[in-house]
Structure formats: C-alpha cells, structure tokens
Amino acid sequence: MTRIHHRHRVHQFINMVASHSHCLKLATLSFIICHLSFSPAGAQTLKDAYRDYWYTGVSVNQWQVEADPTGDNKHDVTGQVSNDQTTDWAIIEKNFNWVVAENCMKCEVIHPQEGVYDFTLADQFVNKAKAAGMKVLGHCLIWHSQCAPWFHFDKDGKPVSPEVLKKRMREHITTIVSHFKGRVDAWDVVNEAFEDDGTPRKSLFYQILGTDYIPLAFQYAHEADPNVQLYYNDFSMNKPTKVEGVANFFRPLIRQGLPVTAIGMQGHMILEDNVDNAVIKQYDHSIQTIAALGVPTFFSELDLSVLPNPYGFSGANVSDRFAYRPEMDPFKNGLTKKKEEEINQFWVDFYKMLISHRDDIIRVNFWCLNDGNSWRNDFPIKGRTDYATLFDRQSKPKAVIEKLINLVK
C-alpha cells in the first residue's frame, strides 16, 4: 500500500490558507488542524487507523446486499435484534475496504446444476462493492462443503472419472473467474483441503484426483485471469501440525512457480482456548511459518467465540454440531464486566502480535459484521448467544475498537 506523508500534507494546507489570509488567527488554524482527517492519529475506524499496515475487511450476507427491511429475510440467528439490515451497508462502507460474500459465490448457489449458473446475488454484491470503491474477494472456487451435489457424480450417481472431474473443475473455475474478471480482486481458490493433523482432507475431490486437484485449481484460475490474486484458505491454522502440513505441501509448488499469491488463515478463535496466550502464540508461529514460504498471509474469517468450548472442540467444519445445554450458554442476557474486560484484553494482545508481523500480513478480515448475525451463535451449538465480533447487535462499534486504534496512534 502506498504510504502518504500526512504531516507534509497538513503543512501544505496550512501554508496555502495562511498565504491567502494574513488575518487568519491561530485559533482558527488550530481548529482546522484538529479536524483534518489526513493522519491515522485522528482515525475513527480500524480501516483508517491501519491503512498503512494492511487492508481491513468483513464478510457480507445477502440481506445486507439487498438492504431488504422486511421480515421475509428469515436470517435465523439467535439473539438478532431485527431482520432489518438496511443500515448495515453504510456501516460496512465506513469501516472496511475489502468485502467477501458469505455464501452467494459458493458452488451450490452460483453453479447449482451442470451447465447452469446463477450470478444474480453475486453480481449484486460485486457491483455494490465496486460502486463503493471497495475491493472484493471471491469466496470460493473449490471447496468440499457447499459444493453442488451434481459436481462429483455421473447420471447414474457414481463418482466421475478423474478426467471428467478435471473438465468440470476447469469449466467451473474458468466460467466464474472470467465472469468477474476486472471486478473481483482476489479469489479463495481452494478452501479447507487439509485436516488438523496436516494430512489432506479425504474429500470427494481428493478421492477422485488425489492432491492434484489443488494445483490444478490454481492453474485454471490463473489461466482465466492472469492478474487476479489467488489464495489458499483454511481453518485451525493456529495448530502447528496444520500450518506445517499446509506449508510442506505448498513449499515445492511455490518454488516451481504455482501462482499462489498468499495463504489465508481463517481465525475462528475461542477465548477459552487462550490460556497463557496460547492461541496468540500459535498464530505468531503460523505467520512466521507461512512467511518463510516467500508469500504473505492474511486473516480471512476472524471472530472470537466467548462461550464455553464443548469437549475441547476446535475448527470450523460446518457439519460438526453439539446438543444445546443451558450451562453452555451463560451470557444470554449480556456479558459480565469481567468477561468483557477479558475479551478486550484478548483483542489488544492479538493486535499487538499482528503489528509485530505487519510486513507479512496483507489483510485482516472479520467474519460477519455484528454479534447478531454472527454464525457463532449457532456453531457448534445451535441457539446460543455469542459476542464474536467487534460490533454489537445494533451494529454499533464496541469500545475495544478505540483501544485497537490507540495501538498505532
């Protein structure tokens, strides 16, 4: 990102004004200086405060894109104040400079049947973001979950041959990337291809093609748009076995010239797991591990569950679920002051760690705008009330944001 000499611009402005009005009083000049927004010191958003460090992004749902105030949205998330999300887009524009669609660009939505594409929601999202001057991440091209049911099977319901799957992958990727060429700035090419122990996930893609489907996906995407950024993305990347497994897989491919722009870490964190800053220390190690590959990293889906962690659960595999129990939902009526202080300290410590790696991070992206529409309310236990984002259920910024801004003033 281009660095701007903010102080120089302020002095230029003052000199210009003074040369045209010798009567200008010092008090007036002071007022002008205090209200200029050139410097991060006066920043009111993370986007502005960290603009010389990394981009700041957020995921967007279809109701925020459509700005539909009716109750027909049926965005069924525990604790949500209202289905009306008409004001959310303005908040997104003010606070973020990158956006990613939560669901409308995934295979089951955009390519529901062979030869049939539905770009309706995705086009609305991309067009609205570009009109607002924001950068867009396409999420995602190849993922075992939320993949259209037809993708891996023939008309008789049997798994397709490797050659057929390669053909389908190429056509799928080429069509989608070409459709958004020049409008989408980056793609999550492959999502969640590894287990927490660092071994390849035994998905249908893997069962038919082995790990070859991963470099093939990057090849097809690069051929469709040689200028777009291409990412790998995964959860549990704080775990040493996971990040090292991913790094070991991509290291020779990157050396051979595979067009991998960056490797993303989702960052679905759990406060309870951060005993003695364990989670933060793990991510510190993970950033170093990825940077050693010669590519930057980014946090793609940041959130922080503050609720009890059932059975030491970790990860973000959307098929994993546990039964509801009241004792696992202790903050239904609000956070205690002690818990709120613990949460705030976590975010401050986490951002301090990020700042120490500013040269290796290209984006910090949060998953869901506010606590009300966060998926963490229903994962991995449906019906709980979580506080996983930096905005409350009315989409108002939490006090911790000011603490994070103050770190770079």
Q: Annotated catalytic sites, by residue?
A: 192, 301
Q: Which residues contact 50 (CB under 8 A, 6 or more apart)?
A: 40, 56, 364, 408
Helices 6-20 and 26-35 cross at an angle (nearest 10°) of 150
DSSP 52: T
Ranges of beta strands (E only) in 122-185 are 135-143
Angle at 177 between CA 109 and CA 367, to 5 degrees: 55
Do strands 361-366 and 55-60 pair parallel, antiparallel, or not at all (unpaired)? parallel
Distance CA 339, CA 284 (A): 24
Of the candidates 204, 207, 254, the residue with the CA atom closest to the CA atom of residue 231: 254
Map 172-220 to HEC letters.
Answer: HHHHHHHHCCCCCCEEEEEECCECCCCCECCCHHHHHHHHHHHHHHHHH
Q: Is 264 helix (H, G, I), strand (E, B) or coil?
A: strand
